[in-house]
Structure 1
Amino acid sequence: MSLLDLLNQAQGGRGLADLGRAFGLDPAMTEALAAQIAPAISGGVKRKAAEEGGLGVVLGQLQGQGQAGYYDAPTVAAAPEARVAGEDFLSQLFGDRQAAPELARAAAVKTGAPPEKAEAFTPALAAMLQGGMQRAAPDEEIDAAIGGMEVAGGDRAGAGLGDLLGALGGASSGEGGALGGIMAALTGGGGRAGAAPGGGLGQLLQMLDADGDGSPLDDVIGRFLK
């Protein structure tokens, strides 16, 4: 499963097309733009998580349910306040307010979409996607992961999604200490090493860790996240 799959599941499969329609985009062009932007966001998340302090930023963007309504009712994501929320999400991930327009322009070139429509659509799509990720990751699991990360030595450079996934899946009944207790709680008391927990935060992190490699907008991602 990928972030694009997550978008395509919204509102029983109608949500993405409904969002595009709000910007005058037909379903085919909406899907084409989403196929460019979603992997770029995933790649941005993955790279951000590997920066010093970046994993905390990523987990913080998944906390709460502030944007969940944009996933549940995608046409609401077309509203100005939702687009501001989407721009904020992208600027947090990429560290630059120009992330949304840059991604939009590059996606428009790749797909042939009208640039002004792509630029309006991109932050709305980001808000909808953030809402979907917030829906997928319960806050208690995020809080426990942040606590476990702090016990393990803080949010250091290189401690990316893969390291957190390993911690989530590597807890076992024989692992002691505070970190073991936190991670065992996340995995239901233990499990085999290397296995991500089913559903929730573990499934979302697994999706993000696998997705985004070789994104069609990788050159744009690289300009923001070195």
Structure 2
Amino acid sequence: MSIKTPPKSEEKIVRLKLSEQVLMRLREMIRGGELKSGDFMPSERVLMERFSVGRPAVREALQAMHTQGLITISHGERSRVNELSANLVLDQSDNIANILLDAVPANLEHLKEARRMFELGIVRAAAEKATNEDVAKLRDLLARQESYLQGELDERNFVEADMAFHTGIADILGNPVITAASSAMLRWLQEYHTALLHWSGNESTTLSEHSRIIEYIAANDVEGAVDEMRSHLDRSREMFAPRKTT
């Protein structure tokens, strides 16, 4: 009598480590609302008794939650649950994104194209709904960026102010997921911003373009804002280049 080989779909069941089981339970406590943003985590002893496990399993699970950004572990204090947000999710992907872009340089071009499409959609929506208060915030951001041209150019702060300006446009939409995604793409691109090494006198052009974008948004001129943002992104596209390997 022959023995039938089980289908490949019937894969071997692997027993989870105790720490992984504790981690799953802690995540469920957050997902179900038992632990909320800002709450202190139960003590290690309480968790040990609740889950009938030893201290090593609890500590390993808490460290994994800290690494994932779900909680903050402070020396001498009880761990606290972090605020759950789109930023939390995307912040955790920064290192992976940099590895992806370094390992496959072509992905930098894909990211630039994705950012272009994303920002054109954002500026269109922003121009449709911007209020006087929104425009005032953008002008403040532009003034801050201009301040880094006083005296010797502060390249790093100038680039960071540039990022803040674009994030400020995304903020107008009032959608935290869009703002977080916009901020994440800008962070990933910043690592490849050649302006940190050589700005080539483009700062004045950038400021002029930002100023025109603001005026189009202030006038609720959707097509003007989109066209100006498109020109701005196309011109600045070459400022992002793969890192040279040694």
Q: What TM-score results when the alignment is normalised by the length of structure 2? A: 0.31
Q: What TM-score results when the alignment is normalised by the length of structure 1? A: 0.33
